[in-house]
Amino acid sequence: MTKAKKTVVGRRSFLRGAAGGAAALMTDPVVGRAQKAATEPGGRGAVVPTEAALARENGNARPALNIEVIEKPQSDYMVDVIKALGIEYVAFNPGSSFEGLHESLINYGNNQPEILTCCHEESAIAMAHGYYKIEGKPMLVLLHGTIGIQHGSMAVYNAYCDRAPVFMIAGLDNEGPVAAHNATDMAAMIRDYVKWDHQPESLPQFGQSMIRAYKLAMTPPMAPVLIVADAALQNPPMKQNLPVPSLVMPTVPSADLGSVREVARMLVAAESPRINAGHFARSQRGMDMLVELAELLQAPVNGGDRAVFPSRHPLAGTGGGAPDLILALEANIPGTRIGGTRPKTISISTAELLATHNFNVNGNPPQADLSVTADPEATLPSLIEEVKKLITADRKKAYDERGKKFAAIHLQLRNQRIDEAAAGWDASPISLARLCAELWPLIEHEDWSLTSPQGFISNWPNILWNMDKIYRTIGNQGGGGMGYGAPASVGAALANRKYGRLSINIQCDGDLNYAPGVLWTAAHHRIPLLTILHNNRGYHQEVMFIQQQCSIRNRGGDKAHLGTKLIDPNIDYASMAKAYGVSGEGPISNTKDLVPALKRGIERVKKGEPALIDVVTQPR
């Protein structure tokens, strides 16, 4: 379809005559001056926005007046395509470059998929990231031109590193009022960390591109995708009925039978195999199959940051000692010798299929002795069958013996870690172990889900709680970008809401302050989420690193708080929560006050609303 001629005037030539307020008071109309834009170079082809252009973005001008009514805009078709993909939610911070699509979503789509109003693009994308990790499918995110993409870029990078398929549409309005919001290659800014991007030239191409983007995003190795939707495609009237292209998902790449048999042979022959399990399980079935494989082989399973193997299973952990074979499922191969020997290694991974993955993000571990390019979850059924065929009675007897040894080691290490939880038990501020231990009996009989990372809370939930389902703990940021915890938790809690799960977010204070407006999003959309603030009043990790630098330079550590601590004044998180419409309580720094506050918070969340409890904690 050729580019439709705009049927509105005003952005360049007309102001609504009846517009009141500031626009009406402007002596120099916005009209006309905008046409002079794009003549002043702002560096590398960028254009300095005119006063008129900025006036509209700042709310000092009114939207354009249609000179004719458009009953059936092309953005309605876009909504049809979005619905055909089964997308349930669309998150965005509003922007003029996609106002046509926005209007279609609310009036034509009748808020289906449901709009999630976000206060920052980074929040919207991180919400989609967390949502995927529970629901297993993408949330749509809309981004406003260059500025929306840049606001969201950190969260895109996190999702990319975490192999999370966030589906994004960025609006582009080349005839819009602010030239700086446009670019000739909109996706260039984040192309290094999306799997695919496209700017369709026509409406039929938009439909096809959306289908392709969805398929690519959702086929392992999964990753974010971006479609650029030109306003010139969104706003013109439909000229003909277009069929919505159908979505047929491709099969997931699984290993060839020859490779599977070789993997099985090596596993069965190994005397002390270990399984390193990364982000391989996309469903509960993945966890269940891993349990089956581990039990067949009586091999210990060393999991990553997401729940992929039950934490209290006797085979959970490294098993101690030196393995003679490591099977890595979307996991890194150890680069160093273990116990003085270098084990044989097998990798089953889709990393080789994501060529853009940078050197440090999975994908570039030391070479395995046998590297199988395949999705582990799709490969496990055939691998399990081949292993079963090869296990003899003698081997099974040997496996049972080593299984008993691994179970004993698991129990010993688990008890040792639980013993460590006693440290600082009665201390104020409250220890994170105490916080997590006290929370456990309050949630263990619920269907609960921990939606926040555990790295900054010393992994106490993994030690003290029973991570027996894939949704029990959904892992880290991916790219290590802060500002992820709160929005990812809101997105995950939204997904958990459908299943009646109790969502728990143990929230780092520094992380929350990147974009706390997501609390309002949770309140507005009635997303039940218990946020317990791990309030150590600072960027604690960085304090430790700065202390090390001070040490290297022999200058003392007494100024390490400068630039790292969130004190003077202390932030009042309970009031912050209340300001956003979320129930807030705290600060709580004495252990005697902890459990009653947790109980009150859980009760509120079970009623369907978010709640925040500010707990002043030991630093880590």
Partner 1 sequence: MSSRSRAEGITIMATLTIRILMMAGALLVGRVLASAQAPAGNAANGKELFLTYGCYQCHGYSGQNGPGKHLVPMKFGQAAFTAYIRNPVKPNQMDWMPSYSEKVLSNAQAADIYAYIKSLPNAPTAKDIPLLTDIKSGK
Binding site residues, partner 1, CB under 8 A: 312, 414-415, 418-419, 421-429, 431-433, 437-438, 440-441, 444, 458, 464, 540, 543-544, 547-548, 550-551, 554-558, 560-561, 618-620
Closest distance of CB 251 from partner 1, Å? 40
Who contacts 413 (Cβ-Cβ below 8 Å, separation ≥6)?
317, 320
Residues 101 and 85: their CA atoms lie apart, in Å, by: 16
Q: Which two tokens stand for residue 253?
A: 């790449």
Shortest distance in whole angstroms from residue 433 CB to partner 1: 8
Q: What are phi and psi of 617, to 5 degrees?
A: -120, 165
Q: C-alpha angle with apex 165: 164 to 168, nearest 5 degrees?
A: 130
Q: Which is nearer to partner 1, 349 or 473 (CB)?
A: 473
Q: CA angle 572-575-581, nearest 5°?
A: 145
Tokens of 603: 């009760």
Q: In whole angstroms, how close is the CB of 504 to partner 1 at the nearest point? A: 17
Which positions ≥6 away from 549 have C-beta within 8 Å? none
* Least spacing, CB of residue 26 vs partner 1, in Å: 55
Judged by beta carbon, residue 174 or residue 458, the one nearer partner 1 is: 458
- For partner 1, the closer of residues 28 and 426 by Cβ is 426
**356-362-364 Cα angle (round to 5):** 75
Give the chain's end-to-end CA distance (angstroms, integer): 58
Closest CA to 81 of 96, 60, 101: 101
Residue number, 351 or 560, with CB nearest to partner 1 = 560
Nearer to partner 1, 237 or 557 (CB): 557
Cβ of residue 620: shortest distance to partner 1, in angstroms? 4
As a whole number of angstroms, the distance between CA 402 and CA 89 comes to 48
The backbone torsions φ and ψ at residue 4, rounded to the nearest 5 degrees and listed phi first, read -75, 145
CB closer to partner 1 out of 71 and 419 = 419
Q: Using the minimum distance from each CB to partner 1, give the nearer residue, 260 or 616.
A: 616
The enclosing H or E element of 474 equals none
CB 495 within 8 A of CB 134: yes
Nearest distance from C-beta of residue 483 to partner 1, angstroms: 22
Which residue number, 205 or 541, has a Cβ lying nearer to partner 1?
Answer: 541
For the bound state, the minimum distance from the C-beta of residue 463 to partner 1, rounded and expressed in Å, comes to 9
Q: How far is the CB of 368 from partner 1 (least distance, A)?
A: 25
Residue 28 vs 444, nearer CB to partner 1: 444
**Which residue carries 């006063």 as its tokens?**
51
Quote the Cα angle for 381-383-389, to 5°: 110
Cα separation of 245 and 248, whole Å?
A: 9
Closest CA to 491 of 134, 140, 191, 11: 134
**Residue 277 C-beta: closest distance to partner 1, Å:** 23
**Contact assessment for residue 96 and residue 57, using Cβ atoms and an 8 Å cutoff:** yes
User: Considering beta carbons, is residue 69 or 552 the nearer one to partner 1?
Assistant: 552
Tokens matching residue 98: 């996609």
Pair of tokens at residue 525: 């959309």
Residues in the chain: 620
How far apart CA 403 and CA 406 sit, in angstroms, is 5
- Tokens standing for residue 216: 């690519």
Minimal distance, residue 432 CB to partner 1, in Å: 7
In contact, 467 and 473? CB cutoff 8 Å: yes
- Shortest Cβ 307–partner 1 spacing (Å): 18
Question: Which CB atom, from 345 or from 617, has the smaller least distance to partner 1?
Answer: 617
* 509's tokens: 């204070």
Nearer to partner 1, 237 or 619 (CB): 619
Catalogue the E-assigned strands of 89-128.
Answer: 89-92, 114-117
Phi, psi of 147 (to 5 degrees): -75, -35
Of the pair 137, 620, the CB lying nearest partner 1 is at: 620
Single-letter residue type at 81: V
Smallest separation, CB 238 to partner 1 (Å) = 59
- Backbone region of residue 353 per phi and psi (left: phi > 0; alpha: psi in -120 to 50; beta: other values): alpha
Report the nearest approach of partner 1 to the CB of residue 556 (Å): 3
